[in-house]
Amino acid sequence: MRKLVGVLGISTVLLLGGTGVATAEDWAPIGPYPTYADCETSEQGFQAAGHVTTGCAYRQLAYPWQSGYYFYASRVD
């Protein structure tokens, strides 16, 4: 599970990092994470990398594999 969390986090960093200079209006959902603790750990990594985040919250989505803990992140330069 830890490997999956790492892969998701790296993929998201590449996604957000490849879009150029973003503004505070460019928010992207990051997740899903299976537990609140996993979400918080990833969120702290995003904050350390210079992203602004909204905090973790559980989202129940259309498919079970989509449901989990998410946070929104934006890079402010």
Parent domain of 69: 2-75
pLDDT at 4: 52
Token pair, residue 38, equals: 């996993």
Token pair, residue 28, equals: 């992207």
Write down the pTM of the prediction. 0.65
pLDDT at 14: 47
Per-residue tens of pLDDT for the chain, all 77 residues: 555 555 455 555 545 555 444 455 689 999 999 999 999 999 999 999 999 999 999 999 999 999 999 999 997 76
Helix%, strand%, coil% for the chain, nearest 5:
40, 25, 35
Q: How many domains does the chain have?
A: 1
